[in-house]
Amino acid sequence: DGGITQSPKYLFRKEGQNVTLSCEQNLNHDAMYWYRQDPGQGLRLIYYSQIVNDFQKGDIAEGYSVSREKKESFPLTVTSAQKNPTAFYLCASSMTRRGTGELFFGEGSRLTVL
Amino acid sequence: GQSLEQPSEVTAVEGAIVQMNCTYQTSGFYGLSWYQQHDGGAPTFLSYNALDGLEETGRFSSFLSRSDSYGYLLLQELQMKDSASYFCAVRELTGGGNKLTFGTGTQLKVEL
């Protein structure tokens, strides 16, 4: 079945460690996104990519990094520079300008910093 | 930048109709989307308006007024399973694609 796969679902890390969250899609979508969600809050855009080898900062990019070497993959690294990394991270993909711009989301990765 | 406002909570009775509002301030607007998210789950797409007026999909309807920077989501014949958070999101076009900015969401509680 087509969809978006995020891993791991749950992740614990110690302060000062970098961690990479995986996101893979087989929907043949050009665009991919990373959002962060804190309890009781909306989704805030971290990074997005419209095409391979290109990506743009979202509203809260500080302390995060991404790469887009393949159309299917858009991993997110949470670096030690991110001051408050404990959150629910959601990856999404979409077609580009056509249609409704509907985002298809993965099931999320919940990161806890100990 | 973008700014969206939604009421934080709405409570309604099973079988009733509920309206959830969204107002936005934006430097670039292409359309307004609505997403549903159950606790701990992934958001799922409900509806999209690019033009003024009402869009209907089954029990869900969404309305947009571009001149008022306002939209709403209407749910009819409420069911217990509709208890969830509902987010509006402004779509803007950037470069070759989309960028969506989400509101903080309205938590809907459906009671018997």
The answer to whether the CB atoms of A97 and B97 lie below 8 A apart is yes
Whether the per-residue pLDDT at B31 is higher than 90: the answer is yes
Query: What residues contact residue A59 under an 8 Å CB cut-off, 6+ apart?
Result: A44, A45, A46, B1, B101
CA distances to A19, A62, A66, A67, A82 from A85, rounded to whole Å, are 10, 11, 15, 19, 6
B interface mutation test: which of A4, A43, A57, A107 has the most B CBs within 10 A? A43
Nearest CB among A31, A96, A105 relative to B42 is that of A105
- Give residue A106's pLDDT: 97
Question: CA–CA separation, B80 vs A1, rounded Å?
Answer: 29
Beta bridge partners of B84: B108
The answer to whether the CB atoms of A106 and B42 lie below 8 A apart is yes
To the nearest whole Å, the CA of B48 is away from the closest chain A CA by 6
To the nearest whole Å, the CA of A65 is away from the closest chain B CA by 18
Question: CA–CA separation, B26 vs B1, rounded Å?
Answer: 6
| pLDDT per position as a tens digit, A38-49 | 987 889 999 999
- Give residue B95's pLDDT: 67
Q: How confident is the model at residue A95 (pLDDT cuts 50, 70, 90)?
A: confident
B interface mutation test: which of A103, A105, A107 has the most B CBs within 10 A? A103
DSSP characters over A4-41: EEEE-SEEEE-TT--EEEEEEE-S--SEEEEEEE-TT-
Question: CA–CA separation, A109 vs A111, rounded Å?
Answer: 6
B109 in contact with chain A, both atoms CB, cutoff 8 A = no
To the nearest whole Å, the CA of A80 is away from the closest chain B CA by 25
Contact criterion met (CB below 8 Å) for B4 and B102: yes
Strand pairing category for A54-57 and A43-51: antiparallel
B105 in contact with chain A, both atoms CB, cutoff 8 A = yes
Tell me which of B25-39, B40-54, B94-108 is least confident: B94-108
Whether the per-residue pLDDT at A6 is higher than 90: the answer is yes
Question: CA–CA separation, B48 vs B106, rounded Å?
Answer: 17
Question: CA–CA separation, B48 vs B38, rounded Å?
Answer: 19
Burial class (CB in 10 A: 0-12, 13-18, 19+), B80: exposed
Place of tokens 């391979």: A52
